[in-house]
A and B are shown apart, each in its own frame.
Chain A
């Protein structure tokens, strides 16, 4: 580890290593996990199963990119699970009750999702409400609104093409929903790594006062980051609706915790300023592979929860140990 990170200069190997910087531990964990599962069960290492894993993590993956940005600037977004449900319900209502075309319903519901993020962001920056509280409030409000739309009822009966996006594999490989996740990964990664804005987020997370004095518009970036997080929670909601072919106000309960877990397992620091999308992708895959593998092994969902909790604690403890050395 130490020897590797020292030769960071130049070369393709160096570039690859610097991409992995901080995420090598989780990556090794993921590889070990896959090796173990491929020996422990004969179903794991099949193309079909691996594609399934991607389908299963698509909602989590999309939301985790937004959460990565939020945690990078030292914030937290507890509202994403509720915003996901609200987006689903707004879309379902607009399309199946109000009778708008489904495509327009999707766009408008995403606007609502982004607005929830904007409200959280403004509360945090202009009214100086701590992020934890602002998004906790939004979590409650969004969940309530989602329930109010249909008085707690689910909405079904979307056109066939809608759910086909979640199960029809283009070229026999990717579903549209997985493609959406990959595009979100790519944009998030490139933004953080190669844009002035992305680099500014690291500065804000590292020390907001230094960033402000350096002429970075901390308030604007903060609001922007929560808008993106809300928007991506909304996209996650649409993807989930495609997968379920229905929308319900109870969807996405405790998804915010899964999302935070994926980001943290991927090595992004909860205090901000350190981490990245690559680690988050690994974190998402670890959770996905773990769930999938435990299912194949016939482990009960209750035990799965215990295992995932232990993995979160181990991942963060390992990271802290590495830093402390």
Chain B
């Protein structure tokens, strides 16, 4: 496109990586040119992370060659890669909240003058990095309190200040809303025109076409397909990713029953993140909640599940007030939450799958207060089988893929036969193939008469699974759309009020 020089700045040839006897990358070739965005796509476990970790010096390849700006390249550490001009921006932001933006940009390599830290020089250079991204924030500001999108941009500014010529962005929009995503994309365009090469990893296939020049699809540790353009139909990409043709992403939605299960009246947050929310959900209905990041959706569903305090309003179940004061209250009434952040709120990563499934069910597993390992494992194995969790009971939850971790979270709750299941971003960070099994689970719950609430930033998802969709904007309920009236335009209109 804008690239004057068509020879690649980064070339990978026959890169292999083995852990013990297990080979996870089988001879991958990859080229990145200056000023282009290469989308690196694939399901979790396809080898994208390993590959990007090799490029950014976190992991060393077992064999193969890399060329960076026409010279052999074998970074021994992330620092070495950084010094060479390769920056990686991780999905989990690695900023220090109590330090200023300038300090974050230069952390570990503070500029000094005569042995003292040269704050002025750091602030000036950080500021120019921020300006390159169109961000007008004081570099003296603490990172704490900045929006996720801005934190993301600061990570990028950090890499730019260190003269990065290649950026690896790992799921940069995972935590961003629509508008913030567009802001990020504008900055990426700007970087492209400056000749920065970008490797872009994402699960959001719709948005990728907006910015990418080329698409590389990986599966099972190998490159399976390469497209020399960005506007490839999503279905074609997905089929390449999963290696089979997909009939339909979303299963059919069952018709809800007439009686109302859950009613929310005048609910307001004690923290002010949402106010005066009213809605009623029927038995067997899937109720979607859409909106931009920061609209108060997560806070609302956390309050419904008793995890966050409220200042006013009530929650009714079958017409009876049950307003929970704690998760214990909500669970007792059959309202359970599958939280947004699986790793921090959903599972204990370094405990076994069986223990994770057991935690909300300890009283049920115990006979007369006593639990044996055998009883616990039998209980868990039952649900591991039922939900098709790919793993054994004694494995740590942290060893599982995102999709399987989510199944563990679902399993631990569904063992309690809940009446209301609240799912917050149920497929965030989960690969496409595993998503459909989560959707099927949701539909199965609904057809069994469970009331399901789904919060999602993924418009296609919320449209695909919901009977009705409530749109929230700035802590208020902007409207409730019926399935037949809802589309991405009508939702975004309400969300951006």
**Binding between chains A and B:** yes
Tell me which of A8, A209, A210 has the highest count of chain B C-beta atoms within 10 A of its own C-beta: A210
- Taking CB as reference atom, which chain A residue is nearest B339? A213
A216 at the interface (CB under 8 A from B): yes
Q: Which of A8, A209, A215 contacts B360 (CB 8 A)?
A: A215
Q: A202-B351, A210-B348, A273-B351 are in contact. Are A196 and B359 (CB under 8 A)?
A: no
Q: Which of B328, B348, B349, B370 contacts A203 (CB 8 A)?
A: B348
A199 at the interface (CB under 8 A from B): yes
Tell me which of A8, A194, A214 has the highest count of chain B C-beta atoms within 10 A of its own C-beta: A214
Alpha-carbon separation in the docked complex, A243 to B37 (Å): 76
Q: Chain B 96-140, CB within 8 Å of chain A: the 1/0 string?
A: 000000000000000000000000000000000000000000000
Alpha-carbon separation in the docked complex, A212 to B331 (Å): 11
Alpha-carbon separation in the docked complex, A199 to B372 (Å): 10
Q: Chain A 259-281, CB within 8 Å of chain B: the 1/0 string?
A: 00000000000000110000000
Alpha-carbon separation in the docked complex, A80 to B195 (Å): 63
Whether B351 pairs with A206 at a CB distance below 8 angstroms is: yes
B265 at the interface (CB under 8 A from A): no
List A contacts of B365 (CB < 8 A): 196
List A contacts of B362 (CB < 8 A): 196, 199-200, 216
B294 at the interface (CB under 8 A from A): no
B21 at the interface (CB under 8 A from A): no
- Taking CB as reference atom, which chain B residue is nearest A198? B371
List B contacts of A214 (CB < 8 A): 327, 331, 359-360, 412
- For the complex, would chain A's binding face be called helix, strand, loop or mixed by DSSP majority? helix
Whether A196 pairs with B307 at a CB distance below 8 angstroms is: no
Whether A213 pairs with B307 at a CB distance below 8 angstroms is: yes
Q: A8-B394, A213-B337 are in contact. Are A203 and B369 (CB under 8 A)?
A: no
B464 at the interface (CB under 8 A from A): no
- Say how far B20's CB is from chain A's closest CB, in angstroms: 12
Whether A194 pairs with B371 at a CB distance below 8 angstroms is: yes
A211 at the interface (CB under 8 A from B): yes
A195 at the interface (CB under 8 A from B): yes
Q: Chain A 167-205, CB within 8 Å of chain B: the 1/0 string?
A: 000000000000000000000000000111101101100
Alpha-carbon separation in the docked complex, A206 to B349 (Å): 8
Whether A199 pairs with B350 at a CB distance below 8 angstroms is: no
Q: Which of A196, A200, A209, A216 contacts B345 (CB 8 A)?
A: A209
Alpha-carbon separation in the docked complex, A211 to B349 (Å): 12
Q: Which of B345, B355, B370, B376 contacts A213 (CB 8 A)?
A: B345
List A contacts of B305 (CB < 8 A): 213
Alpha-carbon separation in the docked complex, A238 to B373 (Å): 36
List A contacts of B71 (CB < 8 A): none
Q: Which of B307, B327, B345, B370 contacts A194 (CB 8 A)?
A: B370
A207 at the interface (CB under 8 A from B): yes
B347 at the interface (CB under 8 A from A): yes
Whether B350 pairs with A274 at a CB distance below 8 angstroms is: yes
Whether A199 pairs with B358 at a CB distance below 8 angstroms is: yes
A18 at the interface (CB under 8 A from B): yes
Whether B363 pairs with A209 at a CB distance below 8 angstroms is: no
Whether A213 pairs with B327 at a CB distance below 8 angstroms is: yes
List B contacts of A203 (CB < 8 A): 348, 351, 355, 359
Whether B348 pairs with A207 at a CB distance below 8 angstroms is: yes
Whether A18 pairs with B373 at a CB distance below 8 angstroms is: yes
Whether A210 pairs with B359 at a CB distance below 8 angstroms is: yes
Q: Chain A 130-147, CB within 8 Å of chain B: the 1/0 string?
A: 000000000000000000
Q: State which residues 368-424 of B face A: CB under 8 Å.
A: 369-373, 376, 394, 412
Whether A202 pairs with B347 at a CB distance below 8 angstroms is: no
- Say how far B335's CB is from chain A's closest CB, in angstroms: 11
Alpha-carbon separation in the docked complex, A194 to B375 (Å): 10
A217 at the interface (CB under 8 A from B): yes
Whether A206 pairs with B327 at a CB distance below 8 angstroms is: no
B346 at the interface (CB under 8 A from A): yes
Alpha-carbon separation in the docked complex, A212 to B305 (Å): 11
Whether B328 pairs with A196 at a CB distance below 8 angstroms is: no
B366 at the interface (CB under 8 A from A): yes
B344 at the interface (CB under 8 A from A): yes
The 6 closest A-B pairs by CB, nearest first: A206-B348, A196-B362, A215-B331, A214-B360, A196-B366, A214-B359
User: 11 A-B pairs, CB-CB below 8 angstroms?
Assistant: A194-B371, A195-B369, A196-B363, A196-B365, A199-B355, A203-B355, A213-B337, A214-B327, A215-B360, A216-B328, A274-B350
